Copies of this chain bind each other. A is one copy, B any other.
Amino acid sequence: MADNTWSRRHIISLEDFTTNDYQTILQTATSFREVLSRRTKKVPALQGQVITNLFFEPSTRTRSSFELAAKRLSADILNFSPSNSSLKKGETILDTAKTYLAMGTNLMVIRHQQAGVPTIIAQEMDRINSGVGILNAGDGQHAHPSQALLDLFTICSSLDKTNPNISLLKGKKVVIVGDILHSRVARSNIWSLTTCGADVHLVAPPTLLPKHFLEAFSQPPKTGKTDESMGNLYLHWQLAPALENADFVMALRLQHERMSEHLLPSLREYHQQFGITRERLNACKPTVKIMHPGPTNRGVELTSDLMDDPHLSLVPMQVTSGVATRMALLYLIGGMQ
């Protein structure tokens, strides 16, 4: 049970998120999901506030999700597009952010191909006492907190729709398959899922999951939580043992660049070794669910029939949860101003 206190002005990474933070987010997202089921789907929570989408790295899916969330909260939205923008004219990213600040922006949703950009902007916004909140919508291979939080909301909701809460995760086995090394989605999910008590099993070929990968996560968590309530993290280089008794299997998107970088021989071979198929799911719990952050390469990360099986696939629920979760995040940091 969360004590409903929220004290973060920014959401950049989940490294230091506490169980209480997660619980507050789940509760807030649950109430916004209820709003979205009404005929009038809007709340005036952020009326008069300006949310600026600074998507230096292009995105349709995530930007649309944030845009709809912002509209549902009655905020005004400004969209910065990198093409033809001041950046090409030599302006620094901080100056771009400050320009939108000076226009009256209250919250910035930032995506950038380089890790650390949202952090740098957040530090500067704090240094000048702007009061602006920063929400990281994906930075390089560092973090994608809103994706991990919508995944958390999806997993908990699939376990108990009316009362999704983190205690449901205790002892659950979540398998993350794919390009772990380059995935900000994986990194953020590792923090949230283990902190909430799930055991996380990572599976990939060694080129995409080096042995030293664990080191970044082997420190005691910054939240000071005792290890005992936390889930554990396991590495696998073969799919079969990882899938045994799994409750959730999350396949990551495979970037085509990995082939030209010689990290993978071919999509076909990847699918043969690490693709999720109906047969392979037999090793999992009978209630197993599959997830994917999208966009999916059908027939590569998972077979087409699994993707379309409403009893197995949580993929559409992930997208739906995205709007409610992002409403919750914007609402929570919007209230910190």
A→B interface (CB under 8 Å):
36, 38-42, 47-48, 50, 58-61, 64-65, 67-68, 71-72, 76, 78, 80-81, 83-86, 89-92, 95-96, 98-104, 253, 256, 294-298, 315-320, 322-323
Closest beta carbon of chain B to A289's beta carbon, Å: 15
Known A-B contacts A48-B40, A103-B319, A322-B103; the reply to A256 vs B64 at CB < 8 A is no
Known A-B contacts A60-B85, A86-B61, A320-B104; the reply to A298 vs B92 at CB < 8 A is yes
Closest beta carbon of chain B to A291's beta carbon, Å: 13
Docked pose: A253 CA to B89 CA in angstroms? 10
Q: Which residue of B lies closest to A50 (CB)?
A: B68
Known A-B contacts A61-B86, A104-B36; the reply to A294 vs B78 at CB < 8 A is no
Q: Which residues of B contact A61 (CB under 8 A)?
A: 85-86, 99
Closest beta carbon of chain B to A214's beta carbon, Å: 29
Docked pose: A86 CA to B297 CA in angstroms? 10
Q: Which residues of B contact A64 (CB under 8 A)?
A: 78, 80, 100, 103
Would you call B89 and A78 a contact (CB within 8 A)? no
This protein's copies in its complex: 3
Known A-B contacts A78-B64, A78-B67; the reply to A48 vs B41 at CB < 8 A is yes
Contact of A95 among B42, B90, B104, B295 (CB under 8 A): B295
Interchain residue pairs A-B with the least CB separation, the first 7: A58-B84, A102-B319, A91-B295, A86-B295, A60-B85, A102-B316, A41-B48
Closest beta carbon of chain B to A292's beta carbon, Å: 10
Q: Which residues of B contact A67 (CB under 8 A)?
A: 78
Docked pose: A58 CA to B86 CA in angstroms? 10
Contact of A91 among B83, B92, B95, B294 (CB under 8 A): B294
Closest beta carbon of chain B to A35's beta carbon, Å: 10
Give 4 new A-B contacts, CB below 8 A, not counting A90-B297, A101-B316: A60-B81, A61-B99, A91-B296, A99-B295
Closest beta carbon of chain B to A220's beta carbon, Å: 37
Closest beta carbon of chain B to A181's beta carbon, Å: 18
Docked pose: A95 CA to B58 CA in angstroms? 19
Known A-B contacts A68-B78, A322-B103; the reply to A89 vs B295 at CB < 8 A is yes
A–B pairs, 21, beta carbons within 8 Å: A38-B48, A41-B48, A42-B48, A58-B84, A58-B85, A59-B84, A64-B100, A68-B104, A89-B253, A89-B295, A90-B297, A91-B295, A91-B296, A92-B298, A95-B294, A99-B294, A99-B319, A103-B319, A103-B320, A103-B322, A104-B323
Q: Which residues of B contact A85 (CB under 8 A)?
A: 58, 60-61
